[in-house]
């Protein structure tokens, strides 16, 4: 009996050592599993030009066409601008724009997205003046319309056609650009203007928990459905915008405490703020002027001429995000970097790129650099501003691989590109419990990625067991001993 117990103990010790060795190998390869990231796109459904408040752009595009384009952009999330113009939050309109057919199309759109693993958030409150105290109630009244829809769309007796639809939003994204509010001055290098702008941000901070309370009180994050129908699982996230430069001025200058990103997230004194921030990477110059600037300015200070001026092509490369959100400002004395202060989504403006392949490279490289090279868990994904600009950019040739922090990354950006130089068979597709790779040679490595580009399996074997991974889209690469990708597939996991 004693020998049997000794054998058990020895086996457990060996198992612990094996697990430690595997963990060290995983860390050495820069592989991590940090959950799902949002790869979002902003969708606006009304014309950019003119004064029309009618959602004619959305109404003219078939729902499945929008979804297909979103998938082709490599996105898994849509921040959908909800039109509430002219609506009354009642059992008929449900708080949405009464434009003919709009409500039905929105419900169908949400249901189609949910059934294709695309998450949709309600994007609302685009008026900068809402951050001012005098306009808070107007903002809350508009937000209430969205909350009313969420609360009643699947349980009102006069809309039984919606009961079985997955018609709920996963959360709310507000686009309150306080830096465009009346009274704001862009020259944060000057102490007087910082005081003035800090006061505006104080009003913004007062509004945020009021918005969350309104949503929570109306069951936005856990809406009910009609008896007998399935409740739709929701992320329940509350997100909002900040300007990328605010945190810099809070850390590097005086009398601008409300610029700290950390104030805009989490819970304090019984108040709930945003769950995730969207630091919008706007260039203060015109877009053409901004695009002609270098990716990263070597000097680094935003006030080197005594007034605020941008010297960089904002957000056009992953190095920009390193310089401004992760490590760059730390070398100048910043004690708390933006990525450590709050959970963030990186913003990528479509107009900053001549080709979508360049935008995609910046997006994936920024993600990889932040998560794998710098191990920053506050990276929660990215968003592209915006849908119609992004789909209009010429595709370009997607990059095959690049090296970041001694790791070769090969994002599966364009599944239509034939990269194969050898005959390799990967089956089945769709797959359930296992994948087989035929045609491997000595030294070939197989990498299996999830939709968010996290490596979930890396092996030299020709058989991968997959029963434990969730349903969804996956990507597989076969890399030879010289680091060349010799096969690349997009796969679908079903249970």
Going by C-beta distance under 8 Å and a sequence separation of 6 or more, which residues neighbour residue 475?
A: 412, 415, 448, 449, 450, 451, 453, 488, 489, 490, 491
- The token pair that represents 404 in the structure block: 């970041």
Which strand (E) or helix (H) includes residue 366?
A: helix 356-368
| Cβ burial, residue 96 (10 Å; 0-12/13-18/19+) | buried
Q: Chunk the chain into consecutive blocks of 10 residues (it has 495) and report each block's average pLDDT, rounded to whole numbers.
A: 44 39 33 60 86 89 95 94 93 94 98 96 97 98 98 96 98 96 93 96 98 98 97 97 94 94 97 97 65 75 76 88 86 86 95 87 90 91 94 78 70 40 82 92 88 81 93 82 75 83
Alpha-carbon torsion, ordered 266, 222, 278, 116, to 10 deg? 140
Instruction: Return the number of other C-beta atoms located less than 10 Å from residue 394's C-beta.
Output: 9
pTM across the whole model: 0.78
Q: pLDDT at position 207, please?
A: 98
Instruction: Give the largest Cα separation in the chain, rounded.
Output: 85
Contact 386, 348 (CB under 8 A): no
- Domains along the chain? 38-399 (3.20.20), 418-495 (2.60.40.10)
For residues 202 and 197, give the distance between their C-alpha atoms in angstroms, rounded to a whole number.
9
Predicted pLDDT at 144: 98
Measured over the CA atoms of residue 141, residue 264, residue 199 and residue 249, the dihedral's sign is negative
The closest alpha carbon to 201, from 114, 119, 282, 133, belongs to: 133
d(CA 465, CA 455): 14
């Amino acid at each position: 009996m004693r020998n049997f117990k000794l054998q058990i103990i020895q086996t457990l010790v060996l198992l612990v050592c094996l697990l430690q060795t595997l963990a060290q190998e995983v860390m050495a390869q820069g592989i991590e599993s940090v959950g799902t990231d949002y790869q979002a796109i902003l969708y606006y459904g009304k014309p950019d030009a003119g004064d029309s408040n009618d959602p004619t752009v959305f109404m003219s595009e078939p729902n499945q066409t929008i979804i297909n384009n979103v998938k082709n952009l490599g996105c898994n999330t849509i921040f959908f601008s909800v039109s509430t113009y002219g609506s009354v939050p009642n059992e008929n309109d449900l708080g949405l724009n009464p434009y003919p057919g709009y409500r039905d199309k929105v419900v169908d759109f949400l249901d189609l997205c949910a059934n294709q693993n695309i998450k949709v958030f309600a994007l609302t409150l685009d008026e900068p003046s809402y951050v001012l105290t005098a306009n808070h109630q107007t903002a809350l009244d508009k937000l209430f319309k969205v909350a009313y829809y969420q609360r009643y769309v699947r349980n009102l007796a006069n809309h039984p056609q919606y009961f079985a639809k997955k018609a709920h939003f996963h959360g709310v994204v507000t686009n309150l650009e306080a830096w465009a509010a009346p009274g704001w001055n862009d020259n944060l290098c000057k102490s007087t203007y910082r005081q003035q702008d800090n006061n505006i941000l104080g009003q913004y901070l007062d509004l945020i928990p009021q918005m969350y309370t309104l949503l929570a009180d109306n069951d936005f994050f856990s809406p009910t459905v009609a008896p007998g129908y399935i409740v739709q699982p929701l992320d329940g996230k509350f997100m909002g915008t900040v300007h990328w430069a605010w945190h810099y001025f809070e850390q590097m200058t005086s009398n601008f405490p409300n610029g700290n990103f950390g104030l805009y997230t989490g819970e304090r004194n019984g108040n709930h703020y945003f769950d995730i921030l969207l630091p919008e990477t706007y260039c203060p110059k015109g877009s053409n002027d901004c695009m002609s600037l270098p990716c990263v300015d070597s000097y680094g200070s935003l006030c080197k001429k005594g007034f605020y001026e941008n010297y960089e092509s904002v957000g056009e490369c992953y190095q920009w995000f390193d310089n401004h959100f992760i490590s760059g400002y730390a070398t100048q004395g910043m004690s708390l970097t933006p990525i450590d202060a709050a959970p963030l989504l990186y913003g990528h403006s479509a107009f900053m790129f001549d080709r979508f392949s360049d935008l995609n490279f910046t997006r994936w490289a920024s993600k990889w650099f932040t998560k794998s090279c710098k191990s920053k868990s506050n990276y929660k994904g990215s968003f592209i501003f915006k849908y119609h600009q992004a789909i209009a950019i010429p595709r370009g040739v997607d990059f095959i691989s690049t090296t970041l922090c001694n790791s070769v990354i090969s994002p599966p950006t364009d599944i239509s590109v034939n990269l194969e130089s050898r005959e390799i068979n990967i089956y089945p597709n769709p797959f359930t419990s296992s994948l087989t790779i035929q045609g491997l040679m000595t030294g070939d490595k197989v990498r299996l990625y999830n939709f968010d580009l996290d490596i979930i399996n890396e092996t030299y074997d020709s058989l991968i067991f997959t029963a434990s991974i969730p349903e969804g889209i996956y990507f597989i690469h076969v890399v030879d001993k010289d680091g060349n990708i010799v096969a690349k597939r997009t796969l679908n996991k079903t249970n």
